[in-house]
């Protein structure tokens, strides 16, 4: 996929997903971290046309 995206050697393709609900009884699930908007660090491609135009 990285060759299709014409990504530089130092770039990475990363994907993560969590599903379910946090257990409010667990202290780790009460830790709130600051967040930046997703648009500040992610590019979303919906189809091949987007792919061809986004990385030129």
The answer to whether the predicted template modeling score (pTM) of the entire model surpasses 0.85 is no
In a domain, 12, yes or no: no
In a domain, 13, yes or no: no
Q: Give pairs for 4-8: CB < 8 Å, separation 24+.
A: 4/51, 5/51, 5/55, 6/55, 7/55
For the stretch 11-51, pLDDT in tens is 887 776 777 888 989 998 888 889 899 888 877 776 655 55
More confident residue, 53 or 45: 45
What is the domain extent for residue 22? 18-56
> What pLDDT score was predicted for residue 18?
73
In a domain, 10, yes or no: no
Domains identified in the chain, total number = 1
Asked whether the beta carbons of 6 and 54 are under 8 A apart, the reply is no
> What pLDDT score was predicted for residue 21?
87
Residue 56 has pLDDT above 60, yes or no: no
Residue 53 has pLDDT above 70, yes or no: no
Q: What is the DSSP string of 16-47?
A: ----S---TTSGGGG-------GGGT-----S
């Amino acid at each position: 996929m990285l060759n299709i995206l014409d990504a530089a050697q130092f770039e990475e393709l990363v994907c993560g997903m969590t599903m379910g609900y946090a257990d409010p009884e667990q202290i780790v699930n009460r830790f709130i971290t600051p967040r930046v908007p997703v648009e500040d660090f992610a590019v979303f491609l919906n189809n091949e046309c987007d792919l061809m135009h986004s990385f030129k």
